Chain A
């Protein structure tokens, strides 16, 4: 009974992505490195097999998923959930994903349009969640993406988001509000070395 078979069985029977931490927890008789290696081995195995499903790393865990090109056949039997996103929903989601934590006002500034309805819909679909309140006058809610977002969009983590095209260096106009951005791409040195107080000035 090889470790990779054990892990394969556990992932197969799990109802949600199984994280490395969880696997280590459940398989205390094995070392973390062994489990990691076995996972990598499994992934390669399924990739090379080129079967109907593969081992995907999503939302910080591992899960078997059908391959996208089998879609036409799978939906003959499985009802495709009505996962349909309007351009405005995707735009809003992208802004929140890349800029989180972000307030509604910031999203609206970037989109130039009222976002109340879209935010509500995204909240209801649990793609975004309320992270808390921002410590500025009015204490607006701040939003971020949820684990469901990663699962549905098949992302390993937030770093797995496609990198934004670099905004052409225009001028030193300050951003709408200084906030920590996600490490989307390696930060250029001249920006990284700049103390944050420079920009708010």
Chain B
């Protein structure tokens, strides 16, 4: 057995070129360890730490030789391996042995490897499924049909991410700012912006997101509006809806209007 492993090691030594081909395929130290274990046809529950550690370090050295940045995670695992090996070399304490079962220093690593292997396989399994948009297809609808048809239907409640996306889109449309601009005299305040939005919402039940940002757009204006919206959400004064991912975003008051006014008055005091 031992000889066989040594033989494997020698074999592996000559296979550096083969390594470099696969360099980018390891998703982390655990992945690399699993690969080494499989390559050497070792039993995962009884890893010869010395052999594996040597190969592991060879690999890291190779990464360095190739001027690849060695992620800290790989180095951490290297030190873990060395730590385990040193733990195994230490004489066992006979007194403790009777009390507890002999704890294999490798146990933790083995458990992590097995667990990792499990999720790696699960990942491969779900990746092999028939994916919508890749292997199978459903009927799709053009955007105008969707947004027009389903205004009254239970709208989707938006997540913060959608809002951020919407604003990012907005920012793209703003022309690059001139550098020699003198700072504007009237700086925008979030409180003013909140008031604007609320009064707009009082006039009408729903306000379209795009309406908030009409007229002359500046980066500052967009950002202030965004912060105002976030603040309004936090205060639970408005709710934000979208009928379909990617479609128009609607703002709706979340509370009765008088309450909103009271709250607004109370909350805007710094």
Q: Which residues of A contact B (CB under 8 A)?
A: 12, 15, 56, 58, 63-68, 71, 74, 78, 80-81, 83-85, 87-88, 90-95, 97-98, 109-114, 123-124, 126, 129-130, 151-155, 161-162, 164-165, 167-168, 170-171, 173
Give the A-B contact count at a CB cut-off of 8 A: 141
Q: In the assembled complex, which residues on chain A have CB atoms less than 8 Å from the CB atom of B28?
A: 88, 111-113
The contact of A152 among B29, B108, B131, by CB within 8 Å, is: B131
Contact A154 B131 (CB under 8 A): yes
The SS class assigned to the B binding surface is helix
Cβ-defined contact, A153 with B129, below 8 A: yes
Show 5 A/B contacts (Cβ-Cβ < 8 Å), sorted by A. A78-B137, A111-B28, A124-B161, A154-B129, A165-B118
A171 CA to B129 CA, complexed, in Å = 33
Q: Sort chain B's interface into a size bin.
A: 35 or more
Q: Determine if A111 and B122 form an interchain contact, defined as CB atoms under 8 angstroms apart.
A: no
Is B127 in contact with chain A by the CB < 8 A criterion? Answer: yes
Compute how far the CA of A78 lies from the CA of B30 in the bound complex, rounded to whole angstroms.
39
Contacts of A78 in B (CB 8 A): 137
Which chain A residues border B134 with CB–CB below 8 Å? 80-81, 83-84
Given contacts A64-B139, A66-B137, A71-B135, contact A93 B123 (CB under 8 A): yes
B121 touching A165 by the CB < 8 A rule?
Answer: yes
Contact A67 B136 (CB under 8 A): yes
CB distance from A185 to the nearest CB of B (A): 12
From the candidates B71, B107, B139, name the one contacting A113 in the complex (CB within 8 A): B71
| Docked complex Cα distance between A153 and B126 (Å) | 7
B10 at the interface (CB under 8 A from A): no
- In the complex, chain A residues whose CB is within 8 Å of the CB of B140: 15
Which residues of A sit under 8 angstroms from B132, Cβ to Cβ? Answer: 58, 65, 83, 151-154
Bound: A173/B27 CA distance, A: 25
Q: Could you say which of B53-61, B109-117, B177-185, B202-210 contacts chain A? A: B109-117
Q: Are A167 and B30 in touch, CB under 8 angstroms?
A: no
The CA of A95 and the CA of B116, in the complex, are separated in Å by 9
Q: When the two chains form their complex, are residues A90 and B124 in contact, meaning their CB atoms are under 8 A apart?
A: yes
Name which of B45, B101, B121 has the most chain A CB atoms within 10 A of its CB: B121
